[in-house]
Amino acid sequence: MSSNDSTDSTAKEQSFLFNVNKIFLVIHLLMLFMFSSLGVDLMAGVSLISICFYFLAFSLTKSEKLSIYVYSVAVEILLYMILAVVCLGIQCNFQLFLIDAMFFLFSMDYVVLRKKKKNHVAILLCCVYAIALIILYMLDGFYTPLYKLDSVVIKSISIAMISGVVFLIITCMMCLLHFMSSEEGAMEKQAQFDALTELPNRFYMMAKLKNLFEAEKQGEYFLAMIDIDDFKKINDSFGHNVGDDALKMLARTIVNKARGVELSYCRWGGEEFLLLGKCVDGEVPKNFLDELRVEINSKSFWTSKGSGRMTVTIGAGKYKVGQDYKEWINFVDKQLYVGKCTGKNKVVC
């Protein structure tokens, strides 16, 4: 993964946690209002502390230590909900938020902590949640809640807590699915682009050709394969870094030349590039390809011995009835071979 990709991924994680933190902050503000209205002073005070924690946690979501945020929130939820059960009893269903916390941990395990090969901390915390739930239910009836509430109020709180738990599970899953969709899109793009030249790769072009054949429009197009002449000599004489610079320079030239023209391109492999464009008056635009060849030759790349230049050979051909796209590619590859065998630095149609 390139540094840009890594930066984008971290930014997505930070944005995801920033939104999660806003949800937790709102929930605790609502809890503060509820406990204050009911006169449950202990939990109102705890809610104030938690609100301060979540305000401070916004700075954690912007740092590189995102795992600290995840584990801190996990511990806060555990302690908060246990205290709520102790204050008001298990009938109010605060303990159900520990199930939400498990969803939160496993979601974060995918979004933030997935870079680690093993994450025993998240699994351990989930086990602690499960044990805490079991203990709370086992102790029900053996202790008296610190605050006595009317049965109607208890039932209302219970319904509100169940609704909140369901809402958070749905929200968590929707956020996770959105993040996964975004990540899959980024991975798909990464899989179809060449890291060195930043051009599409052969998988992109194969998909492009397949779609063209499915639409039965291949008869309107031409293929052209570009190969750097004596590229091995560039690598052997000046090193692979210079060879990479030459490839990037060629790629930039293709991109610039393609502006304003219906032309798709990719790095086919090694020093080969493949173009797909519309025919002009039913024929391969040889003049355009020759201009591209000359333009590539006019560009310089730098070596330890000064600037260098390269030439390319281009094999091209329009679609012939009965060919599939693999046969079409093989045909332009043979055209390229003809150019290599007859002097190089030319366009063969």
Tens of pLDDT along the chain (349 residues) come to 444 555 556 677 777 778 888 988 999 999 999 999 999 999 999 999 999 999 998 888 777 677 788 888 989 999 999 999 999 999 999 999 998 888 878 777 666 655 544 567 778 888 899 999 999 999 888 889 999 999 999 999 999 999 989 988 888 788 777 777 777 766 777 778 888 999 999 999 999 999 999 999 899 999 999 999 999 999 888 888 999 999 999 999 999 999 988 899 999 999 999 999 999 999 999 999 999 999 999 988 877 767 788 999 999 999 999 999 999 999 999 999 999 999 999 999 9
The angle, 0 to 180 degrees and rounded to 10, between the axes of the packed helices 3-38 and 66-88 is 20
Sign of CA dihedral 254, 255, 260, 266: positive
Half-sphere exposure of 269 (CA within 13 A, CB side): 4
* Cα–Cα distance measured from residue 319 to residue 124, given in angstroms and rounded to the nearest whole number: 61
- Answer yes or no: pTM beyond 0.85: no
* Cα–Cα distance measured from residue 101 to residue 24, given in angstroms and rounded to the nearest whole number: 11
Single-letter code of the amino acid located at 209: L
